[in-house]
Structure 1
Amino acid sequence: MITPEFARTMAAYNAEMNRRVFGAAMRLPAEERRMDRSVFWRSIHGTLSHILWADRTWLSRFGESEKPSIAIWDSDKLVDDFGDLWTQRQRFDQVITAWAGQLSDQDLQGDLAWYSGAVGRDMTRPRALVVMHIFNHQTHHRGQAHALITRAGESTGDTDLPFVLPD
């Protein structure tokens, strides 16, 4: 399904895109970042907070992080201060990059089992599928934040994977 190299590539891509998205968001006034824009996680800040919450949750299932103490429904409020959110995002991108860097083909085999608070039941899925989901989830919600940031008048620069990563 996927390889360790896929995970390493996506970790690098997501770290760079987080730098671009947070950089653009930080150029906006705080009230723009916090404005409820009628999206799933309400605001730019809330969406970026949710992504960090989800990354921590997923990596906790692989034994690489502590699970956040708040439920998914409050994940948009994980970190109140945007500067602190950016600091935590950078640190956690390093955790993801290190984790992806040590993945082997064997780590992507078999199933991962966990209890999902979001759906209220035990889940089991192929490990490779879950790893793919971690990066897909980031890209999905970061795209929402990107659209909100663009609507607010800022730019992140290119977002296409072939043009973001260095040669």
Structure 2
Amino acid sequence: MITAAYCHLFARYNRWQNSSLVAAASQLTQAERWRDRGAFFGSIAGTLNHLYWADALILARIEGNERPHDTIVHNLSEPAQWADFVALRAARDRDIERWAEGLNENDLAGVVRWYPPDGSPRLEMSKSLCAAQFFNHQTHHRGQVHAMLTLAGVTPEVTDLSAMPQR
């Protein structure tokens, strides 16, 4: 399905795009970042927090934790302070890049299994599909944030892969 090179590329893309959104959102006030804009997770800050926590949950699943929600709490209101979010987001992006850089093709074979937090039966999907979903999920929600930022009057960088700076 996907390759280690794909994961390397999209981990870099993830960091670049998150940096772009953070730079744009930093031009807004705290109140503007938390203003409900009618998006699925309400605000720019809420959507960015969803991405931050969802990245941790999905990465933990890929790494073999079947119950990541026991130690990772998905919380749309935390981190509440922008400076805390900026630092934590940068650290999470470094973790994602380290994970991707350490991959080889065999690491994407096999199955990811996890128990949903609602007590449903255990789910599973191929590890490569789970990795693809990881990056697709990021792109989806960053697109929502990009649109909210644009409507708020700040302009993030373009999102085209061809525009991504080389290392």
**TM-score of the superposed pair, with normalisation by structure 2:** 0.91
> Per-residue deviation at 1:118?
6.2
Q: Which residue of 1 aligns with 2:2?
A: 2
Any stretches of 5+ residues in structure 2 without a counterpart? none
Conservation of the 8 A alpha-carbon contact between 2:34 and 2:46 = yes
Bigger mean CA deviation after superposition, 155-164 or 88-97:
155-164
Q: Deviations over 1:41-60 (max 9, x none)?
A: 11000000000000110111
Cα offset, 1:62, TM superposition: 3.1
Partner in structure 1 of residue 88 of structure 2: 88
Alignment of 1:41-80 (within 5 A): 41-63=41-63, 69-70=72-73, 72=74, 75-80=75-80
Contact 2:64–2:112 under 8 Å retained in 1? no
> Which residue pairs with 1:159 in the alignment?
159
Structure 1 residue 117: Cα displacement: 2.3
Q: Determine the C-alpha separation between the residues in 1 that align with 2:14 and 2:35.
A: 24
Deviation of 1:78 after TM superposition, in Å, equals 2.8
Q: TM-score, normalised by structure 1?
A: 0.91
Query: What is the CA distance between 1:15 and its match in structure 2?
Result: 0.1
Aligned residues of 1:64 and 1:99 also touching (Cα < 8 A):
no
Structure 1, unaligned stretches of length 5 or more? none
SS of residue matched to 2:9: helix
Question: Matched residue of 1:113: which SS?
Answer: strand
1:121 Cα deviation from its structure 2 partner = 3.2
**Structure 1 residues 132, 119: CA separation in 2 closer, same or farther (over 3 Å shift)?**
farther
Q: How does 1:17-28 map to 2 (within 5 A)?
A: 17-28=17-28
1:18/1:29 Cα in 2 relative to 1: closer, same or farther (>3 Å)?
same
Aligned residues between the structures: 164
Q: How does 1:118-137 map to 2 (within 5 A)?
A: 120-137=120-137
Indicate the SS of the match to 2:115: strand
Distance 1:115 1:39, change over 3 A: same
- C-alpha distance after superposition, 1:74-128 (max 9, x if no partner): x312311111011000001000000000111111111111112268331110000
- Which amino acid is 1:92 matched to? R
Q: Measured at CA, do residues 41 and 101 of structure 1 come closer, stay the same or move farther in structure 2, by a change above 3 Å?
A: same
Distance 2:12 2:106 in 1: 21
Q: Which residue of 1 aligns with 2:98?
A: 98
Seen in structure 2, the aligned counterparts of structure 1 residues 159 and 76 have a Cα distance that, compared at 3 Å, is same
Query: Aligned pair 1:138/2:138, yes or no?
Result: yes
Moved more, 78-87 or 145-154: 78-87
What SS is found at the alignment partner of 1:36?
A: coil
